[in-house]
Structure formats: structure tokens, C-alpha cells
Structure 1
Amino acid sequence: MESPRGDDAALGDETIAVRGCSIETPALRSVLEVFDAPRTGWTAPTTSVVAGGATATLSATGPDRFGRLKAAAEDLFDRVQTPEPLPEGAKPRLFGGFSFTADSSREPPWRDYPDARFTLPAVQVSITSNGTWLTTAATGPDAGQTATERLDRWRDRIAALPVFEPGTPPGIETKRHTPTLGDWRTGVESVVERIRDGALRKVVLAQSLSADLTRELRVVDALTRLGESYPGCYQFLFEPATGPSFLGATPERLVKVRGRTVDTVALAGSIGRGETKDEDDWLEAQLRDSEKNNHEHDLVVNAVRGQLGTMATDIETGDRTVRKLSNVQHLQTPIRGTLDEDRHVLDLVEQLHPTPAVGGLPPDAAMRTIRDIEAFDRGWYAAPVGWIDEHGDGTFLVAIRSAVTDGTTATMFAGAGIVADSDPDEEYDEIQLKFRPILDELT
């Protein structure tokens, strides 16, 4: 059976042939199961995509990685050819992400995750509001024929796929927190002191949780379980040709660009869920009335509006609501604007990342503090991951509630916003809640 490995990461000036057709909606879990790496899984409110293989791979390093990736993406889409215009749902997309900082050390588990990497899949299956679509891409002297043959083969294969039985979580043998509770307290106290001295307003400190698993994790099963447990979140999987898988279920969209409309959201301020409705309602009221959480949220809303204001007009802030997830509830405010000119989604990604919800304020001072205090490399955690299309439109998420998994190991990440009146133990407890989405799928 053919694997959707694609052609070659190095394209030069070759034409890229793309073909697409509508298909009956398959079980995306089964399709992803038979794809070879690199693989992508993506579930959003209106679109679900699984993709495999690589017809082209784009990468960039350094502080100008957003601009370099944008230029490479525009060049790639300029070379895409189709015999006739494809329906919206069948159009090809680049999928990938960025590191949290441009100076990522790429230490394990991030060895195979550069500053920026995006893949044009060889085979892509998309469930959209206008149908379900199979899309293939190919390069080379017979690119059109290759893409057409690939389309025919995968259409037949997908139609004949069985429904794979889901496995059970692998179980956990040992766990290690970095930093430990004692070091966490010291770090939070240091940040609070800097805030009270006037050097900072907010810093998001993160913790990693490494787990040795009882047996090998089936990544597709974990992604499927995340979708069932957290249907209100965006589920994602990014898996390179070699190396560990990066997956998660994030509640936070960094930005969506369609034409000149830009949408983002401020998500900051957290509390747990109650075991009964009365307890849950009481916790929600505590969150709404919390001076600390509302202050943290206001910082994020005002900062995002300011960042958008350099590129957009008519910025509208929606009502502040409480976003309830299975294990935690957050304060949430939607923000929408109209771009002042035609702009690429990566222009907005570069402008908005990192938001104060994962970095802090002022941004530069917060980032220096994170580098000073955190004892691990964030890699792609809390960084922008998403997709780009031929128009420069796209959607990017903030890769929180996430983990890197490799066989029988998994490393999870979570963070908490530290402000002047933060209590180290309360922030530590909040982080443990944020580990639950991934942790529950391992045990």
C-alpha cells in the first residue's frame, strides 16, 4: 500500500500540481492511523483536517523567522497549479508552527522542532462546512499525473478503510516536575518582587511534567480521546518525519484572518470546576468577582487591543464571559478588527506573539524574566501553530494544554500568570489543573 510520504522537501523552482475531489466522510481517526509521518491532525469548530506526507517542507530560523516563512509560503503557492479552480474545502494548506522564542536551544524533547517548520501535505482530508474533500499534491516532471494517480489511489483506499478500535491509555510509571514545588515558590516570589519594584506588570511562568509510560502511547488514540473530552477546544497534532509528536487540546486561538477581518481572543484568569452544579456556579462567581483574575485579564485585553491597533481599525471588544472546559474555567473576551490593508496571517502572528496570556508585560522584560527563571526550553509550547492558505489567510492557535510524546515518554507543559498579589501555592495548584487534559489521556 502506498504511504503518503510525498516527494521531496527541497523544491527549487519546481511546479506543484494539486488535485482534489469530494469524498464520503470517513472516520478521520482511521485515515490518520494509516498515514505515515509527517502527519498533521487539526480539529476546529468548522473544519477538521488530517494530512500525511510532505510534498514540500518550509523552515526558517532566527528572529526574522516569521518574515522568512511568509516569503517562502508565498513563493510556494505561486507555483501551485490546478487544472481548474478547486472548491474552498479542497484547497491545499501549509500546516506547522513556530518555537516560543527564536533562540530555542532545541534540547530534548525539542530536538526535531526548529524555529519554524511548515509542511505542504502529499495527502489531505478535510471535513468542512461545504463538504468532505480529498486533496493531493506532487512535484517533478510528471507532477500532474502523479497528483492525479495519488488522488485516485487514496480515494479508493480511504473508502475501504476499516474503523480502527481505539486503544486504552498506556498508564504512567513515574512523574517528574520541573521546577519542583520548592523551586516554583522561589521563582514566583522572585517575579512578585520584580513586579512590586515596578520592573514588570505580569509574567507567565511555566512548569514541565515528564512522565515515563508503562507502554508505548498510540498518538492517534490520545488525540481522539482529547477530542471527546474537550470538544470545545482546538485539537492539534504535529508530527515530523522523525522524532516525537506534539499534540494538545487548546482553548486559545491566537488569531484568525479571512480577507481583512481579523479575530482573536483574550483568555486569562482561571479557576477549577465544581463537582456539583452549585459548587461550579459558586466557583464561577468567585472567578468573575476575583480582583486578581480580572486584573490579569484586563492586562491581556488591553495589550491585545494595542497590538492589533497597529494593523487594524474598528477594533471591537465583545462581552467578557466565562469559558467552561472539563477541568477548568477561564475569563474570556473576543476581539475583532478590520485590517487597514491586505495582510498575511503571519504578519498578525508576529505582531501578537507572545500574548500576555503566555508571556507577560512589558513583553521584553517578561521574556527576559522567563529565560532567567524557567529551567527548561519551551520549544513549541505556548507558541503559534496553525495553517496558511494561498490567499495568506489562516488560523493560528496558542499551543497550550500540550505535550511532546515519544514512545514511552511524554513531557507536558502548563503555565500560570503571575501578578503582584499572586500566591505561589495557589498558582501551583492552578498549573496542576492545566496538566489534566493530557495527563488524563495517559492514565
Structure 2
Amino acid sequence: MSSHSFAFLDLPDGRSLVGHGPFVSSASPPTGGAAFYRNDFGLTAPEPWLVPQHWEVVGREDVAARIGPVGEPLSCTWLPPEASDFASVFQEISAAIRTGAFEKTVPVVVERGTLQEPPGHRLLAAATGSSEPLLGYGFSDGSSGFAGASPERLLSVTGGVLKTMALAGTARTEERDVLAVDEKEIREHEYVAQSLVSKLGDIGHVRRGPRGIMELGSIVHFHTPIEVDLAGDESPAQLVRRLHPTPALGPLPRTPETLGQLIGWRRRLGTPEDFGAPFGAILDGEFHAIVAIRGLWWQDCDVILPAGCGVIEASRLVNEWRELRLKREAVKARFRL
């Protein structure tokens, strides 16, 4: 990969791991030091580990300086997504739910944009400096890349303890009190939380925290923390396959058939292959991975902004379309686009 490649991931302790290219791809992580984990939504990458030429751990506020200045805001012309394309997929999903094939799944809509000039590393730099609970992430080779600030941690493993979360159920910040009693949103969240607990029960002692509300500026989500005291040694790749995709981004039940059907819907709507996929890093034996959402994907001047929504039996098309726009607007504000 290019010597001008960069990657970064915010760590749970307030610092960030920064990797400088060229990166060497590997099927397994190094025994020491640091490497990034990048895979697609279907976890098909044969060599998902990216070992940087050199790396450093810095404060979140110092990442942008390592990558390069953000500079003036980029100008982008956006092409709104077609509601009819999403409506067609939504109707197919609703029919599949009625037949019992799914309880929940997560279609994705993309908005496309054209920048006035190639961004270089500026979009990557714009994703840095996040504050908790957001976790910044990104990779760029100078002409293409992806970056964002994700509210969803897939997992962290430190000292024999795995931490993850259920993050599902969305509303505008001013509708926080309504979200707290919204039966549809609560049900969607419980699908995710209960599924995670069941997937983790055979690898250690599971502790589920209380459901709360995560505040993210213009939007809020239901959030439930989950911890596991691991009983054995499962590799980072094994843990990723156990958890990804959670019902927050994937199908419930999760089978090869339902996952394949979701990937088909995603591709029909033009979703980047690694949107919603795990992006992580191993650092001195500790592994951290986020779910790659709330971000941008770009190639030269072409930009893609994806957003997903959880669809269950009680979902209504107009409400989901509104939620998708709410999420995209939050990303545009983040990148000043």
C-alpha cells in the first residue's frame, strides 16, 4: 500500500492509535506491537490485518496534526437518494418479516456527493478529535478512504474482560422523552441486547447493564452496556465473527441465508462493502473494534454517505426514511459538508 497511507482508531482510554504506511496485509495479527483490523461486512477478507510501517499512540486532539491540516471546509454537491429504491427494499423486508424469515434487519441508504477537488487526507483529518462516546476511525491512501466517528463499539478486550454494547433505537434530541417510552424503539433495542447476551453466554460470565440513553448532539440512542469475564482464550478474529453483525446492523435471526439476503439488499442500494463492518486495532495484546458507521467513503472526488435503519414488524416507511436523513445530516455536520 502507498507510503502516504494513514489509519487511526480512537481507543477507549481517550488516546488514539495512528498508523503510518505503507501497510503490510496479513492473515493474522503480529505477536507484539500494533496492527489495524479491516474487513468487509461479510467478513470475507483473507488478510484483514494491516501492519503499519510505524505507529504511535497520541492524544485524540493530536491525531489531526499527524495526518495533516483539515484546512478550509470542502465544498460538496449532494445528490439526494431515491426514496423509491428504498421503498422497494423496505416492502420486500416487511413481506419477509410477515412470513417469519426475519424478526429484524437493517437496510442501508446511500447519499452520493461530488467534491470540488480531491480531498487528500482532509476527510480523514476531519474525523479526528472526537469526544466520548464517539470513537473516531479511518483509513486513507491519499486518493480513496473512509472515515467517521462511530457511537458503536463492537468489542474491547482488556485483561480478560470483553466489553460490548447494544446500540439501537433512535430519535432527535428534542424527542428524548418520547423515545424513553416508545414501544417500537424499545422493542428494537431489546432485540439487539438480548441477542448479544445469548451470543456471549457460553464464553464467560455475562453482565448486562441498565438501558440508558446515549446523547450525540442532534440525535439520541438507546444504549445498554454488556461485559463478559472471558473463561478462555478466543482470538480477536473469533470474537469478531461471534458478534458481527449484531442485530443493530445485521439480520435477526442471523443465518447464512438471512445475512446473504441483507448483503444483497445492501448492494442493490449501493452500500460500500465495509460500511457497518468491524474496524479495529490490536495494541500490545489488547483488541478494540468499532462498527464503521456515521462516516464517509470516498474515491477521488466521489463521496458516499451511507446510513442504516432497523426494520421490525412495527416499522413504518416514512418514519425510517426520516431516521435515515437524521443520521446523514449528523455526518454532514461532522465533516462540515
State TM-score, norm by structure 2.
0.89
Partner of 2:53: 122
Change in CA separation of 1:248 and 1:339 when aligned onto 2, cut-off 3 Å: same
Partner of 2:161: 261
Code of the residue aligned with 1:37 in structure 2: it is H
What is the rounded CA distance, in whole Å, between the counterparts of 2:131 and 2:318 in structure 1? 26
Q: Is 2:108–2:271's contact at 8 Å kept on the other side of the alignment?
A: no
Change in CA separation of 1:115 and 1:247 when aligned onto 2, cut-off 3 Å: farther
What is the rounded CA distance, in whole Å, between the counterparts of 2:208 and 2:216 in structure 1? 22
Q: In the alignment, is residue 435 of structure 1 matched against residue 334 of structure 2?
A: no
Partner of 1:28: none
Matches within 5 A, 1:49-88: 49-54=17-22, 56-58=24-26, 69=27, 72-73=28-29, 76-77=30-31
Change in CA separation of 1:162 and 1:285 when aligned onto 2, cut-off 3 Å: closer
What is the rounded CA distance, in whole Å, between the counterparts of 1:165 and 1:284 in structure 2? 36
Change in CA separation of 1:175 and 1:442 when aligned onto 2, cut-off 3 Å: farther
What is the rounded CA distance, in whole Å, between the counterparts of 2:194 and 2:132 in structure 1? 29
Cα shift at 1:196: 2.1
Partner of 2:137: 236
Matches within 5 A, 1:148-297: 166-177=70-81, 180-220=82-122, 222-227=123-128, 232-240=133-141, 244-273=144-173, 280=174, 283-297=175-189
Q: Is 1:259–1:342's contact at 8 Å kept on the other side of the alignment?
A: no
Of 222, 226, 246, the residue aligned with 1:335 is 226
Of 196, 202, 209, the residue aligned with 1:310 is 202
Partner of 1:379: 273
Cα shift at 1:187: 1.6
Of 250, 261, 265, the residue aligned with 1:369 is 261
Q: Report Cα offsets for 1:96-119 as digits up to 9, x if no partner.
A: 31100146xxxxxxxxxx565322
Q: Is 2:280–2:288's contact at 8 Å kept on the other side of the alignment?
A: yes
Change in CA separation of 1:341 and 1:166 when aligned onto 2, cut-off 3 Å: closer
What is the rounded CA distance, in whole Å, between the counterparts of 2:124 and 2:308 in structure 1? 21
What is the rounded CA distance, in whole Å, between the counterparts of 2:131 and 2:216 in structure 1? 7
What is the rounded CA distance, in whole Å, between the counterparts of 1:163 and 1:388 in structure 2? 20
Q: Is 2:67–2:121's contact at 8 Å kept on the other side of the alignment?
A: no
Change in CA separation of 1:164 and 1:297 when aligned onto 2, cut-off 3 Å: closer
Q: Report Cα offsets for 1:340-398 as digits up to 9, x if no partner.
A: 1122222211100110000020112532331343313541110011012453x300110
Q: Is 1:203–1:369's contact at 8 Å kept on the other side of the alignment?
A: no
Q: In the alignment, is residue 43 of structure 1 matched against residue 13 of structure 2?
A: no
What is the rounded CA distance, in whole Å, between the counterparts of 1:264 and 1:162 in structure 2? 29
What is the rounded CA distance, in whole Å, between the counterparts of 2:18 and 2:237 in structure 1? 22
Code of the residue aligned with 1:312 in structure 2: it is G
What is the rounded CA distance, in whole Å, between the counterparts of 2:324 and 2:207 in structure 1? 31
Partner of 2:319: 426
State TM-score, norm by structure 1.
0.69
Cα shift at 1:412: 1.3
Code of the residue aligned with 2:37 in structure 1: it is G
Q: Is 1:96–1:117's contact at 8 Å kept on the other side of the alignment?
A: yes
Cα shift at 1:309: 1.2
Q: Is 1:255–1:264's contact at 8 Å kept on the other side of the alignment?
A: yes
Q: Is 1:52–1:123's contact at 8 Å kept on the other side of the alignment?
A: yes
What is the rounded CA distance, in whole Å, between the counterparts of 2:301 and 2:117 in structure 1? 6
The secondary structure found in structure 2 opposite 1:203 is: coil
The secondary structure found in structure 2 opposite 1:40 is: strand
Q: Is 1:268–1:357's contact at 8 Å kept on the other side of the alignment?
A: yes
- Which structure has more relative contact order (CA 8 Å, sep 6+)? It is 2
Cα shift at 1:327: 2.4
Alignment length, in residue pairs?
329
Instruction: Name stretches of at least 5 consecutive residues in structure 2 with no aligned partner.
Output: none
Instruction: Name stretches of at least 5 consecutive residues in structure 1 with no aligned partner.
Output: 6-35, 59-68, 81-91, 104-113, 133-160, 274-279
Give the CA RMSD over aligned residues. Answer: 2.6
The secondary structure found in structure 1 opposite 2:106 is: strand
